[in-house]
Amino acid sequence: MKIIETATAFRQEWANVNESAKLSLGLVPTMGFLHEGHTSLVKKSVSQNDVTAATIFINPTQFGENEDYEDYPRDMRSDLEILDHEGVDLVFVPSLDEMYPEGFETFIDVGSVASRLEGEYRPGHFRGVATVVCKLLSICRPDRAYFGQKDAQQCAVITALNKDLSLGSEIIVGDTVRSADGLALSSRNAYLSNRERGKALSISRGLFAARELWQSGEKAAEKLKSVVVDEILTGDPDISVQIDYVSVSDRSSFIEVGLVEDSGNAIILVAAEVGTTRLIDNVLLV
């Protein structure tokens, strides 16, 4: 596995590897502190491409002023071991300066899909995500790029970005990976105490209960949402939970829907702060 730190070196290395210009490249962008959610995307890429590249870069422009950029968990040595073990060929680990050199002032103006939910609660977040992903896709020029359904709205923003700016990669979305008890894996789960983790389980429990209710015939979004809210607000009263939103939305536009028909195409999304850790999760109603 080759570790590369600059855009120029990445392009050169990929040109060397791909001398005959016939190999396919899969790209898995991450912010590191890798878990099985990340490795599921890496496995997908390794199985679908001749060469797989991963990136590790904690992108400051997608964090709000009072968010956890400084504290975001890091473990480069373990990440590199994991990626090597999974069969990744190239790892791009750019410095802050490499991605945002002095004088950097060009950002992506994201569209309506980024305006609600995460976009509303984290102003500027998707602008930062879209900008860094645009840079990574431009540097690496992958045939396929892999993202996780756990960040459903992010997937929609990136799919639109890729199409609108003709970046030319195929965007592939991998299923959300959960621990056996249902909690969606996230690097931020490392912040949770045992009791907070117990409380956080109510998020996936609520989502699964709402999906079951929909499967048994309930179409009213308000009913489905109240099942999720009730589940989250019950349980350990000593652990604080603040719900930012529970939403039943169209899975492409992320516009709120009132009734979820049998054909589905809807998604239930949650963002909540458990203790001081903000978590997001979702399930598809399909």
Quick one: 56 or 260, whose CB is closer to ligand AMP? 56
Query: Where does the chain show beta strands of DSSP type E?
Result: 2-4, 25-30, 51-56, 90-92, 144-148, 170-174, 241-250, 266-274, 277-285
Taking the complex as a whole, the smallest distance from the CB of residue 12 to ligand AMP amounts, in Å, to 25
Residues engaged in binding ligand AMP (CB under 6 A): 30-31, 37-38, 40-41, 147-148, 150-151, 174, 176-177, 184-187
Give least dist CB 246 to ligand AMP, A.
19
Q: One of 35, 38, 85, 125 is an active-site residue; which one? A: 38
Active site residue 125: no
Are 228 and 246 in contact, with CB atoms under 8 Å apart? yes
Smallest distance from ligand AMP to CB 175, Å? 7
Q: How far apart are CA 241 and CA 199, in angstroms?
A: 8
Amino acid letter, 81: E
Instruction: Report whether 26 contacts 154 (CB < 8 A).
Output: no
CA distances from 82 to 194, 248, 271, 273 (A): 25, 36, 29, 29
Of all residues in the chain, what percent are helix, strand and coil, respectively (each to 5)?
40, 20, 35
Question: How near is the Cβ of 185 to ligand AMP at its closest, in Å?
Answer: 4
> Smallest distance from the beta carbon of 147 to ligand AMP, in angstroms?
4
Residue nearest to ligand AMP (CB): 148
Residues with Cβ < 8 Å from 10, sequence gap 6 or more? Answer: 4, 53, 90, 92, 139, 140
Q: Which is nearer to ligand AMP, 30 or 131 (CB)?
A: 30
Structure tokens at 285: 């109603």
A 10 A CB-CB count for 161 gives 23
Nearer to ligand AMP, 201 or 213 (CB): 201
Comparison of 25 and 257: residue with beta carbon closer to ligand AMP: 25
Nearer to ligand AMP, 169 or 176 (CB): 176
Per the rule left: phi > 0, alpha: psi between -120 and 50, beta: everything else, 61 is: alpha
Where in the sequence numbering do the catalytic residues fall? 38
